[in-house]
Amino acid sequence: MIQFDNVSKQYWDGNKAVNLINLHIKEGEFFVIIGPSGSGKTTVLKMINRLIPLTSGTIFINGKRISDYDIHELRWDIGYVLQQIALFPHMTIGENIAIVPELKNWEQMKINERINELLEMVGLEPDIYRSRKPHELSGGQQQRVGVTRALAANPPIILMDEPFSALDPLSREKLQDDLIHLQKKIKKTIVFVTHDMKEALKLGDRICVMKDGEIVQIGTPEELLANPENEFVRQFVGEEQGPYMEEFSLHDILLPISEAEQNGSVISASASLEETLSLLAINEELAVEEGGTIIGMINRQAVIRKLARSMQREVKS
C-alpha cells in the first residue's frame, strides 16, 4: 500500500536525515518505526503525507506517486495523531472531530452520527463528552479524541508520531491496549513511530528499526526478539538483559481457552522462549499442552507483556 523506493532526505546544511531507504507497508498492517533520536523515523513518517519533502526517490500510495496527489486530498485521506495532541482549545470535542468531514462537505447528520460512533468506539460517552472543551478532559481522554479526529473521515491510512509518550505509564498502557482492540475493528494501515521498544513489540505487526537515517532491520516482534540482525538491534531490543530469557515459562502467561480456539496449533508447556517466538511468528495464537491436555492459550501480546515486565525489573535491579 505504501512503498518507499530509494528515498532520501538531505537538508541544506548537508545533514542526511534519511538515506536511500526501501520498504513496503502492507494494507491493514500495524507498522512500527523505531530508533534512537536522530535516526530518521519521524522524517520517514512525515514524508508520507508530504509534511517533509523528499530529496530523492519516490513514495507510492496504492501505486500512485504521492507527488501526483492533490496535497489537500492526500492529507484528508491520511489521519495524523501527534504526541502534542493539538486539539483546538476554543472548539468543543465534537467540533474538533468534525473538522475534516466538514472540509470534505459531509452532511451534518452524517457528521453527527460519525462523532457519536467514534466517541463510543474509544469509550467516551457522546452525550457527556461531545460538548466539552479539551481543557475539561484528562491527557488520556484528549489523546483518545486525537485518535477519533484522525479517524473521522474514515481514512485508509493513519500516521501516529509518538502519540502516547507524554502520558503517564498507566494511561499509556491503557491506550496501547485500546489501540490494539480498535485496530482489530477498523483494520486501517497504521504507521506508528516510537522510541520505546516495549511499545513497538506490543503493538507492531512488523517493526522497522532505524539508525542514522538507514533501516537496520525489518521484522515481526518475534523475529526481532529471536534473530536480531546485529549488536545494535540486540541491545535495542534488550536481549542483553538476559536473565529473563532463562526464566521464561508459558505457565506465567496462560489465557483461558474456548472451544473455538481448541483447533489451533499446539505448543508444549515446556517450550523455550525461542521455540515460542518461532511458532508465534506464523500463528496468531497457540494452545498450550501439558501431559496430553490443553491447559490454556497464549498469544503474542501475552508473551510481549511478560517480556516487557521482565525487562523493566532488570532495568530497576
In this predicted structure, the answer to whether residue 116 has a pLDDT above a threshold of 90 is: yes
Q: 159 and 251 share a domain?
A: no
Q: 129 and 114 share a domain?
A: yes
Model confidence over 171-189: pLDDT tens digits? 888 899 899 989 988 999 9
Round the average pLDDT of the chain to a whole number and report it. Answer: 88
Sequence-separated (6 or more) residues with CB below 8 Å from residue 44: 4, 7, 18, 21, 33, 193, 210
Residue 117, CB-side half-sphere exposure with 13 Å CA sphere: 13
Residue 66 sits in a domain whose CATH number is: 3.40.50.300
Model confidence over 118-164: pLDDT tens digits? 999 999 999 999 999 999 999 899 999 999 999 999 999 999 999 98
Residue 256 sits in a domain whose CATH number is: 3.90.1280.20
Domain count of the chain? 2
The pTM score is: 0.83
- The answer to whether 93 touches 134, Cβ cutoff 8 Å, is yes
In this predicted structure, the answer to whether residue 308 has a pLDDT above a threshold of 70 is: no
- The answer to whether 18 touches 7, Cβ cutoff 8 Å, is yes
- The answer to whether 49 touches 76, Cβ cutoff 8 Å, is no
Other beta carbons within 10 angstroms of residue 112's beta carbon come to 16
Last residue of a domain, one of 237, 268, 302: 237
Q: 225 and 253 share a domain?
A: no
Alpha helices in the chain, H assignment, sequence order? 41-48, 71-76, 93-97, 99-103, 108-121, 126-129, 139-151, 169-186, 197-203, 221-226, 231-237, 243-247, 273-280, 300-316
- In angstroms, rounded to a whole number, what is the distance separating the alpha carbons of residues 27 and 45? 16
Rounded mean pLDDT of 44-48? Answer: 97
